[in-house]
Amino acid sequence: MGVLIDWISQPPTSCDLLLVAMPGVGDVGKLAIDAVNAELDAEPIARILHPALPPLAKLDEDGLLAPPHILLSRVIVDGKEVYTLTGDAQPMTPEGQHELAVSVLELCEGGEVLVLAGMSAQAERKEVFTITSSSSYRIELESMGVDVRRDEPKAGVIGMAALITAIGPIKNVKTSCTIATTVGNSADPVASQLLLETIRKWWSLPLPVPIDATARLAAKLKELHPGVAQDMVSDLTESPDSIYM
């Protein structure tokens, strides 16, 4: 048994633009997609199931037990249909990740897929860059002002982010992976916010940027140090050696 698609709504006739993020370093991409889905009241389109997903079924918002899945949703951005894909986990085997990546690309044949991800780096490094797997698409991206790197990540990319990006041209899909650096020790809303802001600029895509990292940081610090949280936030956000929280 391979990929099983449970259509919740009418299957799309085309998928011109898909934003993808899976759990990973700092959950940078996933935080960004979750924020966009929440801000734009995303419409669930399909649950994509695979036997290699962790066998953990969870109660949904209606109190019903939902199988492990990756969720395809639809949002409207400036009058245009944009699809998102994310989940709480990705398949635990290379074969499962490959099968799921190919199935996702087949849904978007002839379209464009933007993968969002994070990369571990020193705290003082706060960058966003893109990689792709097609020389012609790289030229197109660079003409748009996208910072397309040729020499990093030096260790490569792993998981579904890697496979979707790398296999895209074989399935006639324009694919790229846009990466924000992060310390990666915990969920990093600061890097997610920077990632969304950069995609808005490079793709001229008016995505909402609802993640208020400073407010979240202040709330967390207030629990630990009542009365002095705001001063500590200023110190952390202004220092080049700050550790993201």
> According to the model, what pLDDT value does residue 210 have?
73
> According to the model, what pLDDT value does residue 189 have?
87
Same domain for 180 and 205? yes
Same domain for 9 and 89? yes
Same domain for 74 and 181? yes
> According to the model, what pLDDT value does residue 209 have?
79
Same domain for 18 and 127? yes
> According to the model, what pLDDT value does residue 232 have?
40
CA–CA distance, 172 with 150 (Å, rounded to integer): 22
CATH number at residue 13: 3.40.50.10900
> According to the model, what pLDDT value does residue 24 have?
86
Q: Domains in the chain: how many in total?
A: 2
Same domain for 124 and 110? yes
Same domain for 82 and 35? yes
Q: Pick the closest to residue 160 from 120, 119, 115 (CA basis).
A: 115
> According to the model, what pLDDT value does residue 66 have?
96
Same domain for 165 and 237? no
Beta carbons of 126 and 60 less than 8 angstroms apart = no
Q: Which residues of the chain have pLDDT under 70?
A: 1, 211-245
Same domain for 242 and 174? no
State the Cα angle at 240 between 129 and 195, rounded to 5°.
25
Q: How many CA atoms lie within 13 A of 63 on its CB side?
A: 0
Same domain for 174 and 224? no
> According to the model, what pLDDT value does residue 13 have?
85
Residue type for 71, please? L
Same domain for 121 and 54? yes
**Host domain of residue 66:** 4-211
Neighbours of 23 (CB within 10 A): 16
Same domain for 149 and 205? yes
* Residue written as token pair 């296999």: 167
Residue type for 87, please? G
